[in-house]
């Protein structure tokens, strides 16, 4: 496994590899790797001859009051995990390489970026689409792997890849969960003991929604009401949003009459957690 | 020469060619090809084994009151010119292929896009950077060729390519001029006889500026004053802007104490012409 910090160098090496008809799988990360990331890496290794993982805590996707500084950076451990997981190249650029003096270009997927998490995190998805565009140009992968946990991010990247004609396939892998259902996230590390226990309510509320739909419920506001009721019983939970939206354009839907996404963001203290589930309409 | 309308098909073919270590030169155009375009194509053919020309009148770079509809589209002639000039592939997509239903992704080079032509053409450069990003992803060239005539466009594309890590080199070729100095432009076709004659004043005003600088002048406002005086003598000329700006960040400079760009836009009737010159500071 090679750790490469220089984008041009990585690009040169990978272009050569790609021309040898070896398929390249790419997993972009902000580090603090957990089993969710490792499931993406595992799938990439299964599908491709070459696996590239990027580790970069991207400043442009953090708001001014968000957790950029305290975001976990267990770099040695991350690199060791990559090595053990069959990664071939770790791309590890620094801030100044990615955003050099005079940096001024941004990619924005309009509309989609301003809904759901985009409401309380303005600019977040502009930062995400910009860094992913950059990484796609540097790595030039055949397939990029993203987690369903960040559903809106995956939908936005899908749209960007289609709109800007990036020659890459996208695979979205299922959310990895702990025994009580909590979705893995690097931010779980911020939770206190009590918050950690309470946070399991998020996946339980999504399961409740699935059960209700399975039992024939289709009125979004009723389903959302039941979910909110369940979550609000937790002392520290403060709901940012819970919505039932169209899978393509992320617009709210009143009746579940097609495939849709139930997505939520809930704060426990200062820690904002997200989770979601896709409902496939029969 | 092949005319290809499907982006995926072109991408596949060119990726194969690129892997055979053949260098690909790319000239993006909106058609209505003139000797300016042909000089780019000629240079691309000299530098590369393969030359790709795109012809696409890009709607997102036209304002609502601009000349999108009447922009000249002499397609047969353009294709014939490409054939005679040694082009290997003409990329000729339609609007719906480039901007499919639900299109929502835009690339913007902030700051640079809102100066000079960006003031009277809001959104123009966002459209330009977006289409060029798309074309770079589709074509995957080694070198892209742009004309110095569109100086701001060239500077913006340079910045975008650097910022978004597009693996491509940029060559800017000199403006091609008619005998009286008028810069070639597809929009010259809109000019009446009188306007056509008057329009030669633009390059003359730039020559005047060069002479003044050569003679030791360095005060921007004095130089601009002389240029404006010259241009205003023409009955139909209405100045949009004339500015002396920094070559990198396009900010106005008061004293010519470094390399700079003198750029102007002047309307003759409804036809807006641009021209520019670079002053290399000794």
Closest CA to B185 of B171, B199, B206: B199
- DSSP letter at B247 equals T
**The pLDDT of residue A237 is above 80:** yes
Distance CA B23, CA B52 (A): 11
pLDDT at B197: 98
B134 touches A: beta carbon within 8 Å: yes
Name residue, tokens 């030169």. Answer: B25
Report yes or no on A282 lying in a domain: no
* Average pLDDT over every residue of B16-20: 97
**How far A121 CA lies from chain B's nearest CA (Å)?**
19
Tokens of B100: 């499919």
Report yes or no on A178 lying in a domain: no
∠ Cα A219 A222 A227 (to 5°):
125
Tens of pLDDT, residue by residue over B246-275, are 999 999 999 999 999 999 999 999 999 999
Determine the structural domain holding residue B159 and report its residue range: 2-173
* Same-domain pairing of A227 and A162: no
Report yes or no on A234 lying in a domain: yes
Among candidate residues A121, A142, A173, the one where a domain is terminated: A173
* Same-domain pairing of B146 and B271: no
* Same-domain pairing of A116 and A228: no
* Same-domain pairing of A51 and A29: yes
Predicted model pTM: 0.98
Report yes or no on B181 lying in a domain: no
The residues of B annotated as belonging to the active site are: 37
Distance CA A118, CA A126 (A): 9
Name residue, tokens 């910009």. Answer: A130
Mean pLDDT of chain B: 97
A95 touches B: beta carbon within 8 Å: no
Distance CA B244, CA B263 (A): 7
The total of structural domains in chain A comes to 2
* Average pLDDT over every residue of A104-111: 98
* Same-domain pairing of B73 and B140: yes
**The pLDDT of residue A281 is above 90:** no
**The pLDDT of residue B166 is above 90:** yes
CB atoms within 10 A of CB B94: 9
* Same-domain pairing of A128 and A264: no
Q: Do B107 and A103 touch (CB under 8 A)?
A: no
A162 touches B: beta carbon within 8 Å: yes
**The pLDDT of residue B108 is above 90:** yes
Distance CA B161, CA A243 (A): 38
Tokens of A100: 């050099």
Report yes or no on B179 lying in a domain: no
Most distant CA atoms of chain A, gap in Å: 57
Q: Do A166 and B138 touch (CB under 8 A)?
A: no
pLDDT at B281: 85
The CATH code of the domain that includes A197 is: 3.30.1300.10
Distance CA A47, CA A53 (A): 14
Q: Are B135 and B161 contacting, i.e. CB atoms less than 8 angstroms apart?
A: no
* Average pLDDT over every residue of B62-73: 96
Among candidate residues A146, A173, A200, the one where a domain is terminated: A173
* Same-domain pairing of A33 and A115: yes
A9 touches B: beta carbon within 8 Å: no
pLDDT at A282: 73
**A137 contact residues in B (CB cutoff 8 A):** 164-167
Name residue, tokens 């990029």. Answer: A144
**The pLDDT of residue B8 is above 90:** yes
**The pLDDT of residue A247 is above 90:** yes
Confidence of residue A19 (pLDDT cuts 50, 70, 90): very high
A145 touches B: beta carbon within 8 Å: no
Q: Are A248 and A262 contacting, i.e. CB atoms less than 8 angstroms apart?
A: no
* Same-domain pairing of B59 and B114: yes
Tokens of A214: 């399975």
Q: Are A88 and A51 contacting, i.e. CB atoms less than 8 angstroms apart?
A: yes
B243 forms beta bridges with: B263
Report yes or no on A137 lying in a domain: yes
**How far B176 CA lies from chain A's nearest CA (Å)?**
30
* Same-domain pairing of B161 and B193: no
Confidence of residue B282 (pLDDT cuts 50, 70, 90): confident
> Could you give the 3-state DSSP secondary structure of residue A170?
strand
The CATH code of the domain that includes B103 is: 3.40.50.620
Q: Are A234 and A192 contacting, i.e. CB atoms less than 8 angstroms apart?
A: no
Q: Which of B97, B104, B112 to mutate to test binding with chain A, by most A CBs within 10 Å of its CB? A: B104
Contacts of B208 (CB under 8 A, 6+ apart): B226, B227, B230
**Helices A7-19 + B7-19 axis angle, to 10:** 90
Report yes or no on B81 lying in a domain: yes
* Same-domain pairing of A202 and A108: no
CB atoms within 10 A of CB B15: 16
Q: Which of A7, A60, A104 to mutate to test binding with chain B, by most B CBs within 10 Å of its CB? A: A104
Among candidate residues B144, B173, B202, the one where a domain is terminated: B173
**The pLDDT of residue A207 is above 90:** yes
* Average pLDDT over every residue of B71-97: 98
Distance CA A183, CA A266 (A): 13
* Same-domain pairing of B21 and B101: yes
* Average pLDDT over every residue of A140-146: 98
Q: Do A167 and B140 touch (CB under 8 A)?
A: yes
Task: Report the C-alpha dihedral over residues A201, A202, A208, A211, rounded to 10 degrees.
Answer: -130
pLDDT at A133: 99
* Same-domain pairing of A163 and A215: no
**The pLDDT of residue A6 is above 80:** yes
């Amino acid at each position: 496994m090679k750790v490469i910090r220089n984008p041009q160098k990585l690009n040169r090496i990978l272009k050569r590899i790609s021309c040898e008809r070896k398929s390249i799988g790419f997993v972009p990360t902000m580090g603090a790797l957990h089993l969710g990331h490792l499931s993406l890496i595992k799938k990439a290794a299964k599908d491709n001859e070459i696996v590239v993982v990027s580790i970069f805590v991207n400043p442009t996707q953090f708001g001014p009051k968000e957790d950029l500084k305290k975001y976990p950076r267990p770099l040695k451990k991350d690199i060791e995990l990559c090595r053990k997981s069959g990664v071939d190249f770790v791309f590890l650029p620094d801030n100044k390489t990615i955003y050099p003096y005079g940096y001024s270009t941004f990619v924005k997927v309009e509309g989609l970026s301003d809904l759901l998490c985009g409401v309380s995190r303005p600019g977040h998805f502009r930062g995400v689409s910009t860094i992913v565009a950059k990484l796609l140009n540097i790595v030039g992968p055949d397939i990029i792997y993203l987690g369903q946990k960040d559903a809106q991010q995956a939908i936005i990247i899908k749209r960007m890849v289609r709109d800007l004609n990036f020659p890459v396939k996208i695979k979205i892998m299922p959310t990895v969960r702990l025994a009580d259902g909590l979705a893995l996230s690097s931010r779980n590390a911020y939770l206190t003991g009590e918050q950690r226990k309470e946070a399991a309510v998020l996946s339980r509320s999504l399961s409740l929604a699935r059960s209700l739909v399975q039992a024939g419920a289709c009125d979004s506001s009723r389903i959302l009401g039941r979910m909110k009721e369940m979550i609000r019983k937790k002392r520290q939970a403060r709901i940012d949003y819970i919505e039932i939206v169209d899978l393509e354009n992320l617009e709210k839907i009143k009746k579940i009459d097609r495939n849709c996404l139930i997505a939520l963001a809930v704060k426990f203290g200062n820690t904002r957690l997200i989770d979601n589930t896709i409902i496939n309409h029969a």
